[in-house]
Structure 1
């Protein structure tokens, strides 16, 4: 169930994400801000779009954490994406008639649903925004590719270390201590591991003096050590707009 939220003023989360890549014109800012007008509240554990549901809209995430998951016939779950504020849910599936994934609120979230057709209108009025949305979708694809590599070729310890560093970078935090609002089962479903294995691996990283972790409160004690252990390279999180019209 969603609840509409009245939000005063221009409190855009999408515009700052795009302005990391280029300076936006007033028209471009206005078109993007319009995607955030219909603010709705979705409680934690709410399904925004069900797997297999007719897919006619996207969601701009303004606050909270959400994810995209797939379920197997035996009930197992694979987390494909974890979304943070400023991201658009469903971009990678925008060419599909029915959703391949379930989009799910991990925490209480505020999100703005808008029809896919709105993007066509935006692209006609501001062609440069086509490039920006393409770059946003390409970044999500690169994160998914890295996740596949993580699951397929890294050990459990390397997977978890890589994931923790990635979340710090994506959250754009200077502080080494932050809260992960997802439980060990969800982390396991993201990394292809059981919750028991995640618990053991967290303890292993703690025993090595790399992290402390308790009830979702995480502190990276040795960031360089985690990067070296996991082989983390942040290039897949960085967007290079050199070839675009930006």
Structure 2
């Protein structure tokens, strides 16, 4: 199903406006990436690993993920995508997709040809800077996920993930909805779904969180941060070299 999205409702425009004050021409260039919105059901694949890749997807609404499936059927979720993100941007230099992109919830996503980015790069050097900044942020997030899986225990991994999602959702309140079942969380953190259940119980027993039906309530944010060693630096997108950036708005 296709629809037209106004510039004012563009999620990608909102994401970029967190970093800079956009000109009208820049808004139009970005909003054009959301001109062909399509709906996908929860669990539906947007792209398969190994298939020819000539397009990206801008996530208009809902949650999606990138999955790498092993030969034995085990899965590793590499990315969790939120509204305003571009699916596949890290694979910009590849002709075939390395990962599978799948909707975690009902979503609206907007496919656009890779060549569309070339038009943006030619017309707006400043947006080019910001696209590279966003790619760097996604790379930093992947590096942190590798560290999380490789060097933190299950409780530390889950605590870190909860704080990360709170920050990424820009939630000042200590309660948010996490539309991921235990199997998906396990595939993200590299532990079994049974271990996810036990780890949630452990964090509850420590008085750090409460969780029920996908609703996460953080009772002790500082405790989660201390337990996981969370440092939000890898989520920051305000380096000095970008042009006309707004001051960083820190805070958990």
Aligned ranges for residues 187-202 of structure 1 at < 5 Å? 187-202=185-200
1:143 Cα offset (Å): 0.4
Aligned ranges for residues 67-216 of structure 1 at < 5 Å? 67-216=65-214
Q: Secondary structure at the match of 1:81?
A: strand
Residue in 1 aligned with 2:238? 240
1:70-120, Cα deviation, whole Å (9 max, x unpaired): 000000000000000010000000110000000000000011110000000
More moved, 74-83 vs 19-28 = 19-28
Q: Secondary structure at the match of 2:34?
A: coil
Query: Quick one: distance in 2 between partners of 1:81 and 1:64?
Result: 14
Q: Is the 8 A contact 2:3 2:35 kept in 1?
A: no
Provide the aligned length of Structure 1 versus Structure 2.
244
Q: Please point out which of 27, 31, 34 is paired with 1:33.
A: 31
Residue in 1 aligned with 2:22? 24
Residue in 2 aligned with 1:224? 222
Query: Please, which runs of 5 or more residues in structure 1 have no aligned partner?
Result: none
What TM-score comes out, normalization by structure 1 length?
A: 0.97
Are the structure 2 counterparts of residues 121 and 9 from structure 1 closer, same or farther at C-alpha, using a change threshold of 3 Å? closer
1:202 Cα offset (Å): 0.2
Query: What's the RMSD between the two structures over aligned residues?
Result: 1.1
Query: Quick one: distance in 2 between partners of 1:245 and 1:39?
Result: 30
1:8 Cα offset (Å): 5.7
Query: Please, which runs of 5 or more residues in structure 2 have no aligned partner?
Result: 245-252
Query: Quick one: distance in 2 between partners of 1:189 and 1:242?
Result: 36
Q: Secondary structure at the match of 1:35?
A: helix
Are the structure 2 counterparts of residues 9 and 128 from structure 1 closer, same or farther at C-alpha, using a change threshold of 3 Å? closer
Are the structure 2 counterparts of residues 9 and 158 from structure 1 closer, same or farther at C-alpha, using a change threshold of 3 Å? closer
Runs of at least 4 residues off by over 4 Å: 6-9
Query: Quick one: distance in 2 between partners of 1:6 and 1:153?
Result: 45
1:97-155, Cα deviation, whole Å (9 max, x unpaired): 00000000000001111000000011111111111100111110000000000000001
